[in-house]
């Protein structure tokens, strides 16, 4: 009998390629970190010898410093102080809750708190998965959650991103997307909530996370609608606004470690979408919200502008929570929402786009 030679199967080849790619990425990351930490030494060597190769390394190191420093300009898990060491107990809110820990696909343990309606109503009402902004922890959003819980009559899950509050890991754009997916997947495993009434809500940076999650084809039938508040178009444009240098938005994307390309992704969003914009937002220009509204791919979308709303206090404006409650009610009852309707709440003015 002739000897049979075993050929590596597709799964083995795929696993080998993944391993090699992971090894290469690890080596490049270590080289990047070494080059970045040695910037001063490289500058001194170039000053002494003027070597072209050293000059190339200097530019690479400077770019590495700029690239890696971007995280400290975007994520503020320690503001206010002690935000990563102390999170207010959910029991302080005085409503039923579950403190949840889950493991993401990349092995990071993250925390979430689920405020649930009574057992009689929990499985029949909408559930909001809430993504907060770039600072603090979920304990700072308990008042928001309580108001949503009471006014909208819904369940509310507050997700804590990696590196924030009690969650492990380090903040990153890709990591936040993985965290959000893990939270949505978890909610869909529960038998005590209605999976057909699942809503996403994102404020500021959380809006970019919600847009990403809702833009994925595999999530289209798992999300009933989304609520976006004072979020931005993308990081290059936002960087130009915050730093005050307009040319930053024209730099190639390779210069940006965090991109959050919401304006590019939102045309893929097909579910009903509510835009809540503070006209006095001092951080994110309100026209960014309007551009997202125009670009949104959903046939059912509504934009409400709060004349006195600032970036962090729009939720305190009159009519804020009733607006969300009406949206949830209209969508879950499958009633039609006025298409492309934009209004300024508190000012007798309505704009028809």
Domain membership of residue 8 (yes or no) is no
Q: CATH number, domain at 131?
A: 3.40.50.1820
The verdict on whether 204 is a catalytic residue reads yes
What tens digit of pLDDT does each residue of 249-303 get?
888 888 888 999 999 999 999 999 999 999 999 999 999 999 999 999 999 999 9
pLDDT digits (tens, 9 = 90+) for 10-61: 566 776 677 677 666 665 565 555 555 555 555 555 555 656 665 565 555 5
Is there a single domain that holds both residue 135 and residue 67? no
Q: pTM for the complete prediction?
A: 0.81
Q: Which one of the listed residues 132, 179, 277, 281 is annotated catalytic?
A: 281
Q: Is 132 a catalytic residue?
A: no
Assess whether 106 carries a catalytic annotation.
no
Token pair of 158 as six digits: 């507050």
Residues 30 and 138 in one domain: no
Give all strands (DSSP E) within the chain, no chain letters: 97-103, 109-115, 127-131, 155-159, 198-203, 225-229, 273-278, 301-306, 341-345, 349-352
Residue 6 lies in a domain: no
320 burial (CB, 10 Å; 0-12 / 13-18 / 19+) is buried
| 205 and 331 assigned to the same domain | yes
Closest by CA position to 345, among listed 262, 251, 274: 274
The count of structural domains within the chain is: 2
Choose the catalytic residue: 140, 168, 310, 311: 311
Q: Tell me the C-alpha distance between 299 and 24, whole Å.
A: 44
Domain endpoint, select from 46, 74, 102:
74
Least Cα distance to 229 among 315, 153, 164 occurs for: 315
pLDDT tens column, 136-165: 999 999 999 999 999 999 999 999 999 999
Task: Out of 83, 167, 172, 204, pick the active-site residue.
Answer: 204
Separation of alpha carbons 32 and 28, rounded Å:
6
- Write out pLDDT tens, residues 78-131: 999 899 989 999 999 999 999 999 999 999 999 999 999 999 899 999 999 999
83 in a domain, yes or no?
no
* Domain span at 42: 17-74
**85 occurs within a structural domain:** no
Judge whether 127 and 199 are in contact, CB under 8 Å: yes
- In this structure, the answer to whether residues 129 and 25 fall within a common structural domain is no
Q: Residue 29 has what DSSP assignment?
A: H
Q: Say whether both 196 and 332 belong to one domain.
A: yes
């Amino acid at each position: 009998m002739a000897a049979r030679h075993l050929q590596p199967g597709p799964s083995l080849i795929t696993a080998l390629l993944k391993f090699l790619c992971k090894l290469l990425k690890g080596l490049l990351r270590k080289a990047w970190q070494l080059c970045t930490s040695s910037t001063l030494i490289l500058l001194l060597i170039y000053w002494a010898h003027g070597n072209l190769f050293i000059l190339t390394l200097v530019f690479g190191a400077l770019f590495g410093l700029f690239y890696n420093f971007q995280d400290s300009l975007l994520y503020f898990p320690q503001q206010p102080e002690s935000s990563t060491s102390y999170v207010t107990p959910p029991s302080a809110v005085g409503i039923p809750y579950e403190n949840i820990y889950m493991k993401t696909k990349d092995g990071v343990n993250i925390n979430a708190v689920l405020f649930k309606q009574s057992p009689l109503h929990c499985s029949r009402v909408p559930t909001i998965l809430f993504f907060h902004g770039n600072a603090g922890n979920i304990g700072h959003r308990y008042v928001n959650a309580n108001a949503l819980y009471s006014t909208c009559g819904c369940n509310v899950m507050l997700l804590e991103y990696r590196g924030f509050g009690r969650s492990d890991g380090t903040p990153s754009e890709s990591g936040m997307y993985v965290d959000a997916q893990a939270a949505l997947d978890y909610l869909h495993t529960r038998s005590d909530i209605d999976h057909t009434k699942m809503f996403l809500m994102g404020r500021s940076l959380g809006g970019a996370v919600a847009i990403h999650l809702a833009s994925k084809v595999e999530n289209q039938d798992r999300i009933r609608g989304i609520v976006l508040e004072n979020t931005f178009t993308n990081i290059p444009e936002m960087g130009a606004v915050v730093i005050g240098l307009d040319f930053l938005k024209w730099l190639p994307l390779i210069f940006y470690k965090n991109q959050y390309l919401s304006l590019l992704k939102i045309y893929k969003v097909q579910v009903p979408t509510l835009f809540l914009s503070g006209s006095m937002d001092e951080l994110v220009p309100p026209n960014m919200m309007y551009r997202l509204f125009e670009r949104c791919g959903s046939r059912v979308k509504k934009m409400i502008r709060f004349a006195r709303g600032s970036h962090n206090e729009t939720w305190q404006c009159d009519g804020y929570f009733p607006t969300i409650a009406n949206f949830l009610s209209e969508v879950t009852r499958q009633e039609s929402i006025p298409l492309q309707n934009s209004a300024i709440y508190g000012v007798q003015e309505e704009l028809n786009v």
